[in-house]
Amino acid sequence: MTKLHILIPTYNCAEFIGATLKSVFDQALHDIRVTVVDNVSTDGTGDLIRDTFGTSVDYIRNAENIGGIRNHNRCMDIAEGQYIKLLSADDLLLPGVLATQIKSLDSHPSAGISTCDNQLIDSAGEQIGLAHYLKGFHNGRDAIRVCAAKVANLVGGPSQTMLRADAIHGHRWDPQFAWTADLMFYLSMLRDSDLVGTGEPGVAYRRRSGSISEASCPLPIRRKSDLEFLRRFARNPMPFLRWGVRYAKAGLS
């Protein structure tokens, strides 16, 4: 079995995906497989990948556009490695992150998720900030409680996380709740496994218009997703109060 399978769901990211794939191969790891799952791009993504990367990248093109979240789930359905990473097609891996995350999972057999911090970059690749996630080893149930108490994703997104395949089981992203689909997926895994965070930036996360979060998650959708997240994972009233205050300030009480 391949040690690590990296899957890149994409739609019309020809402008960025070449640099994303280069950041994968610059990691200089040998026992990895890289698969791009194209959600019917119309910008020449397939030609770019075939011309630039040839057989070093498995290229799969969906028969029809199935939506971003369902395309993430398709990646999960075809994943085959001991460890799995979903990498957004416009993000960049920072040097050494894959080896670091593999080591963290090898060293913590009960951990189903390894996460890292990220650099925030704009469309041009300029750094605009940093984002921090849980650091060190955390019991899965404790990690759930922390995220629910703060009404926040402290685990990270697809590009930040590496998953142990044996800990995924049948868990998948819920297309009904795009804003918190990744967090609810991770916390479902953490009911039966643990988490380890490197505490170091490992990904350059690109903030741009047209991404799933920007295009399909205005405040009312975020409100609905956050509430469902709390219904599933909060165990006391306080997070619901924080949630209410947050959206009252936004005029969505």
Where do the domains of the chain lie?
4-249
- pLDDT, one tens digit per residue, over 229-240 is 999 998 888 787
- What is the rounded CA–CA span in Å between residue 116 and residue 100? 9
> Could you tell me which of 72, 69, 133, 77 has the C-alpha nearest to residue 101?
133
Q: Which CATH class is domain 4-249?
A: alpha beta
Confidence at residue 246, expressed as pLDDT on a 0 to 100 scale? 75
- pLDDT, one tens digit per residue, over 210-220 is 555 544 577 88
- pLDDT, one tens digit per residue, over 152-203 is 999 999 999 999 999 999 999 999 988 899 999 999 999 999 999 999 999 9
Confidence at residue 242, expressed as pLDDT on a 0 to 100 scale? 80
For the chain, give the percent of residues with pLDDT over 90.
Answer: 79
Q: How deeply is 54 buried, as exposed, middle or buried, from its count of CB atoms within 10 A (0-12, 13-18, 19+)?
A: exposed
For the chain, give the percent of residues with pLDDT over 70.
Answer: 94
Strands 111-121 and 136-138: unpaired
> Could you tell me which of 101, 113, 134 has the C-alpha nearest to residue 202?
101
Strands 111-121 and 32-38: unpaired
Q: How far apart are the first and last CA of the chain?
A: 50
- What is the rounded CA–CA span in Å between residue 142 and residue 183? 15
Tracing tokens 């990211």 back to the chain, one arrives at 13
- Please state the pTM of the whole predicted model: 0.92
Contacts of 22 (CB under 8 A, 6+ apart): none
CB 146 within 8 A of CB 154: yes
Among the ranges given (9-13, 57-61, 101-105, 219-223), the one the predictor scored with the smallest mean pLDDT: 219-223
Angle at 226 between CA 89 and CA 126, to 5 degrees: 35
